[in-house]
Structure 1
């Protein structure tokens, strides 16, 4: 059973698995530990991850990035139009009420929603994982930013379901990093907590979480976010200044050419990374536009001056996180940083100065979140045993319930899950009603949400409500839950009545007596009809079926390409070899025709054979192999036969020498058995000589009469015959006690013989 943690990033994603008593970050098909978060569409198939990255510029209109930023959004979202649209080259459209992208796929214009695009990418991550662990992938934990709202979280959950993943938990990314940090610490205090500030500056957003640790537990105290601050903002700053410089120096305007702008953004990102470790960085872009090459050098001091307003924003979020946690800078014991953009020296310096302490380097900046997610998955999985460690996460956006005022109510709303409320959490609310009523869930502070996100979360109608038996409004208990994913739901509702209940109790004298008490007793469950921001089930089923079809199409295309490549490779390879090393092993009457067929196939592939079904390529390859395979086999036999013959002769010589040697370890073996080994070796040698003589008379272009496998089989037979004989154990010598017991008898026999000799001598004398 797989246990997988996925750090779903806006630029790239990292996958970790729990195995071998640890957490491993796995590599994709090109051995990278992070996979680009891109989906691209072609005339015949989709390209996902690394394959999409290669088409980012050449096929930019049909390549979609910023997948995480699109989750749960609508086309009219002002945040999307102002910030995200400029990072997506494709055309944004409305798909089933969600924002989607129109692309050219399979030769026609098609539109896919953000949930479908996310599902496609998650399917790729699932495939990478399955290839690495050599098994199916099911259970996983996916990380999301702490500021993600319910509609965004539901979009990720739906996407994982469509991709065939069982998401055990959506965990906030910095909570995952904190788990990876705390569970490995053996020196955590038992009383006074150790408080750590976790700072994550990623590609598109900036998060801070203040976390307290005690032995066996972490508790998130507070958090803050800047939803539009990240590495891409620094890329844009560099690109803007380079575009101005290139316009003055080379008289080109990259903003008039989408491909040129994409090339500039790629170069700017590379420049930013170089400047993180060096005082200056060269920028060279070949054929950026109008066949012009451009080059310049960017100094780190200039870059920091250009980006000065961005660095100022860094402190604002830190200050807000401390405020939400109710702490001061002096309360922070350590500062941990994750996210690729935290490598920018000025960001490190700003954060270090704010807290008045050096940055700790306990965590891997790129992989800590993914590793923490895998740990969380292992903790939730029944098949893994993980050190006990409690994770106390919090709600980032307070949630309230509203209802229509009734005579029994003083209020019409209540904040059920306040800011910093623990996750998961359950609340029981009491209402007095005589008829069905409706609860509406909303975010309590809409202005704190990402701009454009609807604060409405759901509507829950409590049905079958009737007055109590005494005619008064029924007392109704409603169970509200904020689940492990950070998603709110009304789980159940039931009526209760105050009834007199008889109970047996023990009095002070130890005697049993019956006592009547008033208790609230459950009298019936109520039906709840809900409407939420989740996708309708029929739409999820439709997306799932569509994804399965596209996966099948991709696999067929990949198999077809593999078959075409195999045919092309065989054609080129055999064409060269048949007039080279294989020339002697093919009949002259067949050779010319075979060479002609090979040339024809190679030419055909680049003509009408360029786009054919898989079966056509397989059929042509089989036809060529029917002629070529026997030729290759004859060549291989000619190469392997001498080696096999030498190996047999060496085996015969070895067992014969051992049998005929005077070595003491073989002294117990009967001479006849040793002679049998010699005779068996002689028979094998004669057989080999006879067969090799026959083979010498067979032309190289004909089927051999002696195969290397036959020689190897004879060698096995010789060794199998000799080994049991040579390994026969020596007889067990008599114990020393028996030898000492026999000694007196031997002496007596010797004395009798001596006496006989004496008598014989005496008789001779007489």
Structure 2
């Protein structure tokens, strides 16, 4: 699958401008007004012609355009057909056809290689553009994707793939370089000529890195630029100066490797530069130092390799023998000198000498149109400060809104005769309403721009006065239901006590101590509930309740935790009969059936009692 975009300088806005120019001329001749002279009027015209353009995609009849109070409090009217629009935008559609043909040619595909053509974007709804696509690719364009959201959804998916905090399925997206990138370098003082090379051709895979090798003895600069047909007047990308290059001990140039890279965002940069310096060392004298340097070099190479694999780079060394300096020249010793050194005793000494290649990271000065790393860090820090300020402002606004909402809510309930008014004295209610009025005046005057803590403190102060009133209302409304619930539980217990006194077989297994315990708990709770009921009837509404709902529920739970285990205690199992009293198999089967029926009836009765307990 290959994705491509149309001309970057051609889109739906160009069609809108063509239609707007048409109506500007019409309004000039009909109403004697120039829409171009009024930016606000011209913006409204662009908005309306965009709506008409969308309607023309599905309608070929004459479509009206009406704008009220367009200029100088005058209304304007006009109309246009789809055929007129196609004539006005004919030069734009010709550019679309040319771009489509160039896209097909540059892709290297034949019409038989293309399975389908999917189009997205608002302008793809224009019938003339669909006809051009079908004309070029010999296929009816497909519109299975959402034409307005496809690009944004793709960007969101790409961001999710790159984000370490989001896990998505494994995708493989291969991007290419749309425009060729070339690099050039300046001449050196030792006679090396300047050169230029295209490092990233058109449609080259990205991200990608290339390694360029130079032989230099002084700092030099590398310049990058776009080549080919680039839709921007300035093709320059930037200049990078590789510093701290020095000649070797013999005064000759040294090898310098420069890494140029295009990252996954399509940004080209010179990412690193290294100087490879060759030194001779004696194995006996500097054995430990040489070994340490080799280990460091191996670790550095391993680190670079791992970094390359993580970044999905492909390093391709590139050299140009014409433009670069002469290649490395290795030292050679004639056989005569070797034999002479052998007999003079210097052979062993020379044999022990080794060449060590040391890599030195070189600093790079970047001269690009973008921001430097210091500026990026500063702007990033500024962005975080702005995010924190936005968060603080939102929290401040939320605290202010919560305070304002509570003032209005509490005052409205206090003013109503059937809300909170019965639960506060008239004098206290008038004083509290006046205080709420003062808080409202303060909020719109001095308290307009206070910080979050001030609003929270004011809200806490009001809640300390308003919540006790609301709690008294809640207590008064819930107390009858809670008392009635407790009374039902006591009524069930009293019924069970009456059955115990009547020697009901269901409670025959309970001991006298169990019955006494149930009876004592019932009397205590019944007396407590009657006292609570009497206190609640005579308690005024504007005062705190003598007994709260929570206390009544706690008393009920303590009563049921004492009584329920006794009333739900199962009877003990009957002992097995002696062997001589055992019945025949038929009689035993009949007796088992009768026992099972009686046990089932008893379990049903017990379950019904338990359900009554649990429901109350």
User: What range is the shorter-chain TM-score in?
Assistant: 0.5 to 0.7
CA distance in 1 between partners of 2:407 and 2:531 (Å): 39
Q: For residue 631 of structure 1, what is the aligned residue in structure 2?
A: 469
Query: Counterpart of 2:221 in 1: which secondary structure?
Result: strand
Deviation track 1:160-213 (CA, whole Å, cap 9, x = no partner) reads xxxxxxxxxxxxxxxxxxxxxxxxxxxxxxxxxxxx4535xxxxxxx1xxxxxx
Aligned length: 502
1:435/1:464 contact within 8 Å kept: yes
Q: For residue 527 of structure 1, what is the aligned residue in structure 2?
A: 362
Q: For residue 480 of structure 1, what is the aligned residue in structure 2?
A: 260
Task: Pick one of 6, 10, 14 that aligns with 1:233.
Answer: 14
* Residues 594 and 718 of structure 1, relative CA distance in 2, 3 Å threshold: same
Higher Rg: 2
* Residues 411 and 286 of structure 1, relative CA distance in 2, 3 Å threshold: same
The offset of 1:398, in angstroms, is: 1.5
* Residues 257 and 567 of structure 1, relative CA distance in 2, 3 Å threshold: farther
* Residues 423 and 683 of structure 1, relative CA distance in 2, 3 Å threshold: farther
Task: Pick one of 348, 370, 382 that aligns with 1:546.
Answer: 382
1:399/1:442 contact within 8 Å kept: yes
Task: Pick one of 391, 410, 434 that aligns with 1:574.
Answer: 410
CA distance in 2 between partners of 1:383 and 1:668 (Å): 68
Task: Pick one of 124, 140, 157 that aligns with 1:342.
Answer: 124
Q: For residue 593 of structure 1, what is the aligned residue in structure 2?
A: 431
CA distance in 2 between partners of 1:277 and 1:646 (Å): 70
Structure 1 segment 151-550 matched on structure 2, within 5 A: 196-198=1-3, 207=5, 225-245=6-26, 253-277=34-58, 285=67, 287-292=69-74, 300-377=82-159, 379-380=161-162, 388-406=170-188, 409=192, 412-445=195-228, 447-451=229-233, 453-467=234-248, 472-490=252-270, 491-495=272-276, 522-533=357-368, 534-550=370-386
* Residues 561 and 248 of structure 1, relative CA distance in 2, 3 Å threshold: farther
Q: Please, which runs of 5 or more residues in structure 2 have no aligned partner? A: 279-327, 333-350, 501-505, 584-616
CA distance in 1 between partners of 2:51 and 2:495 (Å): 70
The offset of 1:614, in angstroms, is: 4.8
CA distance in 1 between partners of 2:382 and 2:515 (Å): 74
CA distance in 1 between partners of 2:230 and 2:458 (Å): 64
Q: For residue 584 of structure 1, what is the aligned residue in structure 2?
A: 422
The offset of 1:694, in angstroms, is: 1.1
Query: Counterpart of 1:448 in 2: which secondary structure?
Result: coil
CA distance in 1 between partners of 2:492 and 2:374 (Å): 75
CA distance in 1 between partners of 2:67 and 2:430 (Å): 50
- Range with bigger deviation, 381-390 or 620-629: 381-390
1:197/1:334 contact within 8 Å kept: no
CA distance in 1 between partners of 2:570 and 2:453 (Å): 61
* Residues 689 and 320 of structure 1, relative CA distance in 2, 3 Å threshold: farther
* Residues 574 and 395 of structure 1, relative CA distance in 2, 3 Å threshold: same
Deviation track 1:649-671 (CA, whole Å, cap 9, x = no partner) reads 56666788899999xxx989847
Query: Counterpart of 1:317 in 2: which secondary structure?
Result: helix
The offset of 1:631, in angstroms, is: 2.2
CA distance in 2 between partners of 1:725 and 1:656 (Å): 14
Deviation track 1:101-152 (CA, whole Å, cap 9, x = no partner) reads xxxxxxxxxxxxxxxxxxxxxxxxxxxxxxxxxxxxxxxxxxxxxxxxxxxx
* Residues 345 and 543 of structure 1, relative CA distance in 2, 3 Å threshold: same
- Range with bigger deviation, 545-554 or 350-359: 545-554
1:433/1:475 contact within 8 Å kept: yes
Q: For residue 51 of structure 1, what is the aligned residue in structure 2?
A: none
Q: For residue 613 of structure 2, what is the aligned residue in structure 1?
A: none
2:217/2:245 contact within 8 Å kept: no
The offset of 1:397, in angstroms, is: 1.9
Structure 1 segment 68-87 matched on structure 2, within 5 A: none
1:567/1:618 contact within 8 Å kept: yes
CA distance in 2 between partners of 1:329 and 1:650 (Å): 86
Query: Counterpart of 1:336 in 2: which secondary structure?
Result: coil
Name the structure where strand makes up a greater proportion of residues. 1
Deviation track 1:251-303 (CA, whole Å, cap 9, x = no partner) reads 65443433333334344444444544556766565555545555666655554
Q: Given the two structures, how large is their TM-score scaled by the length of structure 2? A: 0.67
The offset of 1:319, in angstroms, is: 1.8
Task: Pick one of 517, 540, 546 that aligns with 1:705.
Answer: 546
2:176/2:203 contact within 8 Å kept: yes
CA distance in 2 between partners of 1:669 and 1:240 (Å): 102
* Residues 555 and 433 of structure 1, relative CA distance in 2, 3 Å threshold: closer
1:437/1:463 contact within 8 Å kept: no
The offset of 1:477, in angstroms, is: 2.9
Q: Given the two structures, how large is their TM-score scaled by the length of structure 1? A: 0.56
Deviation track 1:676-720 (CA, whole Å, cap 9, x = no partner) reads 668756755554443232122222222222333334444544565
Query: Counterpart of 1:334 in 2: which secondary structure?
Result: coil
Query: Counterpart of 2:95 in 1: which secondary structure?
Result: helix
Query: Counterpart of 1:337 in 2: which secondary structure?
Result: coil
CA distance in 2 between partners of 1:332 and 1:535 (Å): 42
CA distance in 2 between partners of 1:686 and 1:293 (Å): 85
CA distance in 2 between partners of 1:456 and 1:250 (Å): 50
* Residues 313 and 579 of structure 1, relative CA distance in 2, 3 Å threshold: same
Query: Counterpart of 1:420 in 2: which secondary structure?
Result: coil
2:424/2:542 contact within 8 Å kept: yes
Query: Counterpart of 1:327 in 2: which secondary structure?
Result: coil
The offset of 1:414, in angstroms, is: 0.8
Structure 1 segment 654-733 matched on structure 2, within 5 A: 670=510, 684=525, 686-717=527-558
1:227/1:450 contact within 8 Å kept: no
The offset of 1:587, in angstroms, is: 1.0
CA distance in 1 between partners of 2:2 and 2:70 (Å): 43
Q: For residue 479 of structure 2, what is the aligned residue in structure 1?
A: 641
Q: Does 1:562 align with 2:344?
A: no
1:198/1:338 contact within 8 Å kept: no
The offset of 1:413, in angstroms, is: 0.9
CA distance in 2 between partners of 1:660 and 1:350 (Å): 97
Higher relative contact order (CA closer than 8 Å, sequence separation 6+): 1
